[in-house]
Amino acid sequence: MSVLVDSGTKLVVSGLTGREGSFHGMNNRRYGTDLVAGVTPGKGGQDVEGVPVFDTVHEAVAETGANTSMIFVPPRFAADAILEAADAGIELVVCITEGIPVHDMLRVYTHLRRGPTRLIGPNCPGILSPGKANVGIIPAHFFSEGNVGLVSRSGTLTYQIGNELAQRGFGNSSIVGIGGDPVQGSSFIEIIDLFQADPQTELIVMCGEIGGEDEERAAEHVAEHVDKPVVAYIAGFTAPPGKTMGHAGAIISGSKGTAQAKAEALEAKGVRVGRTPTEVAEIAAEIAGATV
């Protein structure tokens, strides 16, 4: 199996007529994702390489049965695009857009918590279930189908750790990039729970970074609710306090949110933490060997 996206995914892309939306939307289709529609207000009736474009998500859902939305619109319009998809009954929204104002995302987060729509992102690389579907910007050629579930705040580190795992013969059930903004649609805990319930996933890899307390909360949750082995990596061991490192949410405040503090919290709950992507893959290989 897999989590979130699979062969039953029917994708609609908000911003399909734009440069980035068309480039990645068509890449997703070439991978095998069922791209059924695009949405750009004022361009309804057009098409992008045979994919019909609609003025609204409601029209796209009614005509094509789309159940997953990918957002590729400018930051000032992205919050409304997410809410439009949710209002149209879309089950899963993957928002690639970065730079969305925090206040806008607080409004989106509060609204979505009242309904059934799940949001991945914003400022994320998306979701890949190897051999089934790719929704986002993840370079799928790095990955093959297997039993490792990977959840990460960082896109680039997702690719690096995935490549390290692949070199040791590991494939993935799904790869989920939750994004690095301060307000995220889905947390480590929520995605780890999906992997816990997924029969295909036998090992979970979590890639975090400095800032916030998500990794510490995940450590507590794993200890109480997860019986599958979990390996973690925290980016930012050398990051100075008070400096934003890469993502908007990656900032240390005093002694809280440091890579060392996160690693210690995870290790105290039985989660092994690699200090480099290579070490993460080595630990995964060791655990896999011990369970055979």
Q: Is the dihedral of CA 266, 258, 236, 124 positive or negative?
A: positive
Catalytic residue among 24, 58, 103, 247: 247
Give CA 199 to chain center in angstroms: 20
Q: What is the spatial distance between Cα 33 and Cα 74, in angstroms, rounded to a whole number?
A: 24
58 catalytic per annotation: no
Tell me the catalytic residues: 247
